A and B are shown apart, each in its own frame.
Chain A
Amino acid sequence: MHKDEKLEIRPVGTGERVEWERLWRAFQAVHQFTVSDETMEVTWRRFHDPGEPMYLLGGYVNGELCGIVQYVFHRSCTTTGDFCFLHNLFVADEARGRGIGRALIEAVYAAAERHGASRVLWNVLESNTRARDLYDKIAQRSGFIQYRKDLC
């Protein structure tokens, strides 16, 4: 963080949809995937529905939303507490190198601790060495790889 900059991590409010959508769409572009407008609407509502285990935090530099993290809690067969699945993390290109990604992940750790979760998990493309440089510092590579089947 530069000397005159202040970083704040907090939930992204219901009035900040435009700012969130800009980052969420940029994230999708990086992953070459497009979420439909309808699904974005559903997801946005779920983030702000206290009955849903889905959460959204923003990284703000001098009040401007520069990064987001989206996470969900779910059951596990091996632990009493839930798993916290850190679903998506994104920091705007122009805001990189300020520790926003790390601060967002650490905020998820804190939220997961408060929730009573047993662990925080996430997946990253093996080829994403830039992200993995950070992850190797603050988490552990489990040695597990993902398989999936998309259903139509």
Chain B
Amino acid sequence: MRTVERIAIRPVGEGERAEWEPLWKGYLTFYKATLSPEQNDLTWARLHDPAEPMHLLGAYVDGRLEGIVHYLFHRSTWTAGAYCYLQDLFVAESGRNHGLGRALIEAVYAQARNAGASRVYWLTHETNETARALYDKVAERSGFIQYRKMLG
């Protein structure tokens, strides 16, 4: 394992799109998804629009962006406070095994608490054993599985 001096978690600034995009594409590739350039522009814009409930944090290893998490808030019928949906989490190959994924998730917990959210939740593919080994340590498997209907 390489020697790491310093890990920092902070918002990814508007000037860092070139560093964010390869990680975002890495995430999408993992899920065999591709997005149009227009969609990437829109997502990036929303992640930096204070009027949008969408947020982006980065994990920096010695100043270099090697992990990202996207999360958003939405209403819940169960609680007065919002739910925080951790939609996307990705760590570059080079950044693995340094605790970046866990640090990003815990940073989302802190942000969600600050925002008065009642819960943080996410979905992962049931076959993603590497990710689930971490999730089983930092969260609870709810026993719920997802159904979906694509529209349009």
Contacts and interface: CB of A to CB of B under 8 A. Distances in A.
Interface of A: 33, 35, 38-39, 42-43, 46, 52-54, 70, 72-81, 85, 87-88, 109, 112-113, 117-127, 135, 138-151
A33 B142 CA distance: 14
A46 B74 CA distance: 13
A78 B151 contact: no
Interface of B: 28, 33, 35, 39, 42-43, 46-47, 52-54, 70, 72-80, 85, 87-88, 109, 112-113, 117-127, 135, 138-152
B152 to A, nearest CB: 6
B126 A39 contact: no
Given A75-B72, A77-B72, A113-B152, A148 B139 contact: yes
A134 B122 CA distance: 24
Contact of B140 (A35, A76, A142, A149): A149
Contact of B143 (A74, A125, A139): A125
Nearest to A136: B147
A74 B75 contact: yes
B109 A38 contact: no
Contacts of B140: 147-150
A147 B78 contact: no
Nearest to B108: A149
Given A75-B53, A143-B125, A149-B138, A119 B143 contact: no
Given A43-B80, A126-B143, 14 more contacts: A74-B85, A78-B88, A87-B77, A87-B78, A123-B142, A126-B145, A138-B149, A145-B123, A145-B145, A146-B122, A147-B123, A148-B119, A148-B121, A149-B138
B74 A118 contact: no
